[in-house]
Structure 1
Amino acid sequence: MQEQEEARLWGAHDVSSSKGMKDENFPVGSFLIAPRVRPAVHAYYRFARIADDMVDNAQLSATQKVDRLTALRDVLYGRRRPPAGRADGWSAVVLRTVLQEHGLPLEVGGDLITAFIMDAEKARYEHWSELLHYCRYSANPVGRFLLMLHKESEETFGPSDALCTALQIVNHMQDVKGDLKTLNRCYVPLPWLAAENVGIEDLLLARSKPGVRRVFDQMLAHVDALNEEAARLPALVKDRRMRLEAAVIVALCRRLSARLRHQDPIAERVALTKLDGLRALSWAMRYIR
């Protein structure tokens, strides 16, 4: 009976993709992160990547996604053992061990699962506050994990939350058309579209209508405010390598926001270039002290 329950929860196959840290839009465990903590960062990323793959898998129903994500969270919290030989389930065991070794709260992993369950159950957003609530679970724990891993103070959490939320929103804007087309998921507040006399179907056109462009600019105005708060972060971080990492990401987020203002994410996928990365690193060097 227990074996049948396990089979129902986990399914016959591991749904993890081959996507790695180098495929992400922003640095993950870059060379700026100290070698002593990189294994912990890799374990955290692997856990998050697997959970993301679960919720984006087209072969799983919404109920199956929620059940599997809940099981993954139960493993993280020590309430369940994963099936033998399943790398997806065992990623939570590895992360649990890492978090305990570093004295970090399990919630920095568990909160990510909360966000992925939201993705399984919710495909539309009515208010900006709903999107911020989602980012509180989907993005902000990542920054707090890195800061706590480096023994930084709680003073850094506010600017870090602002940075992570800004990163999440610009990432949604980068993928606005693909998310809707492939996953039927849209993070653009629907009333903002309605106020400009455009609809969600207009996000699938060849290029942005003027009303859609105005909604994007409205979103970016909020991102600018978040980036202003995030700009305080590097100066608050004591660990030099983590300070440089934070500064680079602050600069990259601003550069991507600027690109999204001048390019159309409906017509093309707006992305950072290698030159953007070099310029961000150059700007961050002011924090090398």
Structure 2
Amino acid sequence: MKLVHDWLGPVELPDSARRIVSLAPNATETLFALGLGERVVGRSAFCYRPAATLALPVVSSYTRVRWELLRGLEPDLVLVSTGVQRGLLEELRQGGVPVFPVPLPQSPYGILENTVLLGELLGVGEVASRLCARLAEQYAQLAGILPPLRVYLEFDLGGPVTVGRGSYVGEALRHLGLVNVFAGHPQSYFTPDLEAVPALRPDLVIYEPKPHRSRAEERAAALLGTRGWGYPLVVTGGDELAHYGPLFFDYLAQLERRLERLDL
């Protein structure tokens, strides 16, 4: 298949790759959602959705690849993401690996675009279109479903990170009816000035821990307590809003239900 990539220019890849190594969690999840799980022969350490991926060999961290293992798998396509994986992309290209970077979405609709893109790339465009139609309907049902509460969102990425303009997460919060207190900030993802947060008058805090953390709600409440914050708190299951595979829309619906239970 020949196509033009915004970063790479003209790209030619196998018409229907059969041995795929996916080093981006969003891409891995999408492949399984499209019914292509049997083609995936390797993953990154951060690809754990769905559970079937855990049986696959771990070819990389998020930014470093195990070259001997990768070559031994003889992939005809390697998938990465953009952004943090940009350096890995260049390393793979220089190593002569057939690699394709799946774009970082700027809105939840970008998740649907990526799904269609992978579907067309791998010869299952009709399946991708049907999946996206269902996800788009699910997303549409969430439009304006919550009151315009002012929200401070924080990801634990080894330190606090939040979102500003141009983030698919910020757009999703707006779609629900919420108001991101940093919506006007000119960076999509950034380390916030925590001392400035109270002046922005948030009505609640949404906190996303790292995945698989025990006592996540208790730990998050304790963290806010050290800052002297008494805001209502919603804690996600970890790596939900920061994850932009098809399950993002399920996680968004779960967030809406958690917020409704607060009865604010």
Does TM, normalized by the shorter one, top 0.5? no
Q: Higher RCO, 1 or 2 (CA under 8 Å, sep at least 6)?
A: 1
Query: Please, what TM-score do these two structures have when normalized by structure 2?
Result: 0.30
Query: Please, what TM-score do these two structures have when normalized by structure 1?
Result: 0.28
